[in-house]
Chains A and B, each alone.
Chain A
Amino acid sequence: MKSVAPIASLLALLLACSATQATECVGLIENLKQESREQSGWRAMLSQLLDGQHCSSARTVLDKYRNRKVVAGRKLEDDKPLDVAAAQANLDQALADPAISDLFAKARAATSDEIALTLYQATILDAEGYYLARDLLVRRLSEKGKD
């Protein structure tokens, strides 16, 4: 397993970014590029796939991938576990959208890196509002083990 330090510093930088999407996106992309200079791997590929787009969604997905949660606050009720069947149905619905399936196909053609590809797909799903499908992909990736 690779060191967690690079992704931890990446997340720290993400939190320090300003509220505007453009500035946050620059921070996210620049850090992924910085880390790609230090070590090859899924971070570099994800940066390429993102190409400056959907940075807010990418941040959401990365936090979920690293299981980072904000603890403070009072919830209405306890969180419920992911309904896998519903999530699969949500994913099927997303894949039925030609725009989404087209983006996925292009990404698959661009890389064979499973982590980068899955995180990119989860980012697209987040941006389009397919949250159950997003969580399903992130969970599957997490269960496979992180690098």
Chain B
Amino acid sequence: MLAARAALQVVGQCRQLAAKVVARSVRGGLDFMRRQFQGGTEKPDAEPLSDEARLDAKRMNWLPMRTEVLYGERAHAAETNLLERDSKLGGKHYPAADALLAKLLAQVTGQHDYSFQLFILKNASRNAVARPGGFLYLDQGLIDDPIQLPKAHFALAHEIAHVLQRHETRELQGMIVDSFSTRDEMQKAIANVRTDPAAVLANVKVGKDIYARHHADQELQADSCAARLLARVYNEPRELAHALDAFLKDLPAPEAQSAPAAAPNSSAPPMDSKTATQAAELAALTHEIVASPAARHPTTQERTDNLKAIYAEINAGITP
């Protein structure tokens, strides 16, 4: 499946395995946040936040590690599908899972403050999960069948990358930033929604599209970092190709792309062509906002193309 030397662009670049999560970076981010948002929503008549300031706030690394770990701990506490270590099956499967984690972490160089913890989920499927603070989860279906070992390597490397890149934490930061608002912004939105609903919906969709694309790009970055991490683990390129193939083969078949059709409204009076076009566009816009998930994985084709490109880079000795 993986052709050598594919001349494709790696979308999700993995410039370094661990994003800078040092105290100085977090402190600098906090100072920035304080300067930008001093007073916050207690000043309802304050000027609206500029897009640049909002985007900067989302990109900066300001959420303290302690907060991230607490967030991860809270999510972990709600997880009840864990295979217990001291159970019969736990005793059988955790040694292999722990060994896999140790093997991968041995290749993670660069400073980071994470204490990774690995858990097995009682699922026959072959998925994996990462939560902030270093909480990692593998489906038992990846561990209990030796045939799945190559995909297990990729899956765990992918999740480690999510943690080291602080993807979920950055999204949490983004959601917090989005909760900042002023009265001025709200008044404008309410005034516009009746007279120009498309403009309001377009703003919502743009925001959602940015979020969705950002989320998908983070997944591609995690894929790329997983490939680079595995390249350090495996001695032979063939082994890396085998792991990547094992993952790609398990993805759903490439999706057919189709645009949502506007629902016909037989009770409405006939429209001129311009109005009909605008109505169709508005319907399509609304459908996309409502029907498409904001947080989605990249398509199978996107992931395949990205991994082909990163594999070619690795074999060519190209580093970011």
Q: Is B57 an interface residue (CB 8 A)?
A: no
Q: A15-B78, A63-B80, A129-B89 are in contact. Are A74 and B222 (CB under 8 A)?
A: yes
- Tell me if A60 is interfacial: C-beta within 8 Å of chain B: yes
- A59 lies within 8 A of B125 (CB): no
Output the nearest chain B residue to A133 by Cβ-Cβ distance: B124
Which residue of chain A is the closest to B138 with respect to CB atoms? A76
State whether B81 touches A60 (Cβ < 8 A): yes
Interface residues of B in 136-179 (CB under 8 A from A): 137, 140-141, 144, 155, 158-159, 162, 167-168
Bound state CA distance, A90 and B251, in angstroms? 22
Q: A48 on the interface (CB 8 Å rule)?
A: no
Within the complex, the shortest CB–CB distance from B75 to chain A, in Å, comes to 4
Closest-by-CB residue of A relative to B81 is A60
CB neighbours (8 Å) of A78 from chain B are 252, 296-297
B259 interface residue per 8 A CB criterion: no
A109 at the interface (CB under 8 A from B): no
Interface size class of B (residues with CB under 8 A): 35 or more
Q: Which residues of B contact A132 (CB under 8 A)?
A: 124
Q: By the criterion CB–CB under 8 Å, are A74 and B162 in contact?
A: yes
| Residues in chain A near residue B78, CB distance under 8 A | 15, 70
Mark interface residues in A76-93 (1 if CB within 8 Å of B CB, else 0): 111110000000001000
Question: Would you call B129 and A21 a contact (CB within 8 A)?
Answer: no
Give how many A residues have a beta carbon under 8 Å from the other chain's beta carbons. 25
Which B residues from 115 to 140 make CB contacts under 8 A with A? 122-125, 127-132, 135, 137, 140
A22 to chain B, nearest CB (A): 12
Question: Do the beta carbons of B124 and A76 come within 8 Å of each other?
Answer: no
CA distance A56 to B80 in the complex (A): 8
Quick one: which of A75, A126, A131 contacts B128, CB cutoff 8 A? Answer: A75
B interface residue numbers (CB < 8 A to A): 71, 75, 77-82, 84, 86-87, 89, 122-125, 127-132, 135, 137, 140-141, 144, 155, 158-159, 162, 167-168, 218-219, 222, 247, 250-252, 296-297
Given contacts A72-B168, A74-B131, A76-B247, 16 further A-B contacts (CB under 8 A): A56-B87, A73-B135, A73-B168, A74-B219, A74-B222, A75-B129, A75-B297, A76-B158, A76-B159, A78-B252, A80-B125, A80-B252, A131-B122, A131-B140, A132-B124, A135-B124
Does A44 lie at the interface of the complex (its beta carbon under 8 Å from any beta carbon of B)? no
Would you give the shortest CB distance from A90 to chain B, in whole angstroms?
7
Is A14 part of the contact surface with B, judged by Cβ < 8 Å? Answer: yes
A55 to chain B, nearest CB (A): 11
* Docked pose: A126 CA to B124 CA in angstroms: 11
- Residue of B with least CB distance to A64: B81
**If the complex has contacts A14-B80, A15-B77, are A74 and B124 also in contact, measured as CB distance less than 8 A?**
no
Q: Which residue of the partner chain A has the closest CB to B293?
A: A78
- A13-38 vs B, CB cutoff 8 Å, 1 = contact: the mask equals 01100000100000000000000000
The interface residues of chain B lying within 8 Å CB-to-CB of A76 are 127-129, 155, 158-159, 247
Nearest to A90 among chain B residues (CB) is: B124
User: Hey, which chain A residues are within 8 Å of B251, CB to CB?
Assistant: 77
